[in-house]
């Protein structure tokens, strides 16, 4: 289990976190999640009954991890994997592409890691039909649209000669995303009335919805040289930063009509130290605004300045656990009801616990956010020996 510390020490915990050492921990975690035989990363590791159980491999998870490893390598960071071999295996089978978001992920992967195969990816689909061919496109699901748009933007940045061919579908995707945003800056989960629970999904959006849009609009604005998307991204970023928990929590579910949190938990570690820093830093670079304070608070939450006083870094097994969330059905129902009906009420840590599982994409996002800061040399040698 994750180690704990008294609540009195929370405020000062990880005031100046050693980011290179956190990157090194991400590398060691990926070593533990890697399947040498298949040359792919496992879907996840779960602590169950005192045993660490590893799931089957996943190409989607592998690609997320590879994007982080590529970012680290770009800045001279050493790592213990044969990246070329893994990326070739990951690219061989593309049957896992089942959504527009998946296609966007594969496109971003090809741009970063296999630029000579970007044409193969784009030639395999009719881009003009993507928004109608996949369910997340038809239902205007925010997260899927965001990652599809991010893929198109990365392709346009890497291959400017392709920009004109990508413009129409990119603009159509952007307009669907913009329609999902409320006047408060918050995005709903879906824009389509055909989506199950349509009215609720149009009104409420997860943190994943907000942060994926912030990232994609930042890259889209840069790739297609337009300012308008940055206004939407900034409005969303300002809203979620204003709603960030006192201990740095990026909460789970938001109401775009009232701009309030309607469900706090689970609070996910990959959001705290991975995708949120990555997206907010991308927006900061595009606009000149700084989100460092919010990012720093989110990182401190990981290392013990949280509601449980629990360090989510499992240093013995070299993981960062997945989340803090209600443990059990009754605790989940009670928390959800209180958050929705009395959003400002603090109910302490009763019923909360650490979800002891972890996924490769967590560490891929962490390295995408901070890979430019490298890893300590001694730590990279240890990682190589462990592989």
Query: In the chain, what are the domains?
Result: 18-386 (1.50.10.10)
**Rounded to 5 degrees, what are φ and ψ at 187?**
-100, 140
* Residue 163 burial (CB count, 10 A): 17
Q: How far apart are CA 15 and CA 274, in angstroms?
A: 18
Return the percentage of the chain with pLDDT > 90, whole number: 78
Q: Give the pLDDT confidence of 247-271 residue by residue, as tens digits.
A: 999 999 999 999 999 999 999 999 9
Residue 15 above 50 pLDDT? no
Let me know if 232 is exposed, middle or buried by CB neighbors in 10 A (0-12, 13-18, 19+): buried
Q: How far apart are CA 246 and CA 282, in angstroms?
A: 24
Q: Give the pLDDT confidence of 83-123 residue by residue, as tens digits.
A: 999 999 999 999 999 999 999 999 999 999 999 999 999 99
């Amino acid at each position: 289990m994750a180690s704990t510390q008294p609540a009195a020490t929370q405020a000062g915990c990880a005031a100046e976190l050693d980011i290179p050492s956190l990157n090194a921990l991400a590398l060691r975690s990926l070593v533990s999640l890697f399947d040498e035989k298949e040359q792919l990363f496992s879907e996840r590791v779960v602590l169950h009954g005192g045993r660490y159980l590893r799931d089957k491999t996943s190409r989607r998870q592998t690609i997320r991890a590879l994007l982080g490893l590529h970012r680290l390598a770009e800045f001279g960071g050493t790592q213990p994997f044969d990246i070329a071999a893994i990326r070739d295996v990951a690219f061989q089978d593309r049957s896992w592409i089942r959504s527009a978001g998946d296609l966007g992920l594969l496109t971003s992967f090809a741009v970063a890691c296999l630029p000579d195969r970007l044409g193969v990816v784009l030639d395999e689909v009719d881009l003009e039909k993507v928004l109608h061919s996949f369910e997340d496109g038809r239902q205007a699901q925010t997260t899927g649209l965001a990652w599809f748009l991010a893929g198109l933007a990365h392709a346009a940045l890497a291959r400017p000669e392709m920009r004109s061919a990508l413009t129409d579908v990119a603009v159509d995707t952007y307009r669907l995303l913009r329609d999902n945003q409320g006047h408060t800056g918050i995005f709903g989960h879906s824009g389509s009335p055909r989506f199950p629970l349509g009215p609720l999904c149009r009104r409420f959006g997860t943190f994943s919805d907000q942060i994926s849009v912030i990232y994609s609009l930042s890259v889209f604005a840069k790739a297609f040289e337009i300012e308008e998307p940055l206004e939407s991204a900034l409005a969303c970023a300002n809203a979620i930063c204003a709603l960030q928990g006192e201990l740095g929590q990026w909460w789970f579910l938001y109401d775009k009509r009232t701009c309030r949190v309607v469900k706090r938990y689970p609070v996910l570690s990959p959001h705290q130290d991975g995708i949120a820093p990555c997206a907010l830093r991308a927006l900061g670079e595009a606009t000149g605004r700084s989100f460092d304070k919010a990012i720093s608070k989110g990182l401190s939450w990981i290392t013990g300045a949280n509601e449980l006083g629990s360090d989510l870094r499992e240093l013995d097994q070299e993981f960062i656990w997945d989340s803090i969330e209600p443990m059990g059905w009754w605790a989940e129902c009670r928390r959800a009801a209180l958050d929705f009906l009395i959003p400002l009420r603090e109910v302490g840590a009763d019923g909360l616990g650490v979800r002891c599982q972890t996924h490769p994409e967590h560490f891929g996002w962490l390295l995408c956010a901070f890979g430019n800061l490298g890893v300590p040399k001694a730590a990279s040698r240890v990682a190589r020996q462990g592989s």
